[in-house]
Amino acid sequence: MPSEATRKEIAILLRAGTSTCDIMEVTKASRATMFRVKKRLKDGKEMTEKPRTGRPAKLDLGDVTDAFKANLGLKMIEFAKERDVNTSTVSEAVKSCVEGPSQRPRIRPLS
């Protein structure tokens, strides 16, 4: 997918009256991109990309933080089974929430 800068450059050249072939040579853009930009200009639309929603999150980070703060002995496997998600999803959520060393108490002393 061409960058926003490329699309803007194509739009400027089109407004200046440059031929389609010349613009394709200069910008190295495909013919399809040229005509998409041309159509956007004709319809009066912007050259910028709209934000996309993406895939919805399976876990709310606030829920993960609250659950593990409320029960320091809670295991990620148990939490994952309870929420019906993969353990790696829980692990990534915990990593993004935790600041500093683990707050989980040591089960056995290090010797």
Q: 32-81, pLDDT tens digit by residue?
A: 998 999 999 899 888 777 777 888 878 888 888 888 888 888 888 998 89
**What is the Cα 61 distance to its own chain's centre?**
16
Question: What is the domain extent for residue 77?
Answer: 61-97
Spatial distance between the Cα atoms of 63 and 91, rounded to a whole number of angstroms:
13
Spatial distance between the Cα atoms of 58 and 56, rounded to a whole number of angstroms:
6
Is residue 102 included in any domain, yes or no?
A: no
Q: Verify that 92 and 65 share a domain, yes or no.
A: yes
Q: Verify that 8 and 34 share a domain, yes or no.
A: yes
- Number of domains into which the chain is organized: 2
Is residue 77 included in any domain, yes or no?
A: yes
Is residue 71 included in any domain, yes or no?
A: yes
Which pLDDT tens digit goes with each residue over 3-36?
Answer: 888 888 999 999 999 999 999 999 999 999 989 9
Q: Verify that 38 and 68 share a domain, yes or no.
A: no
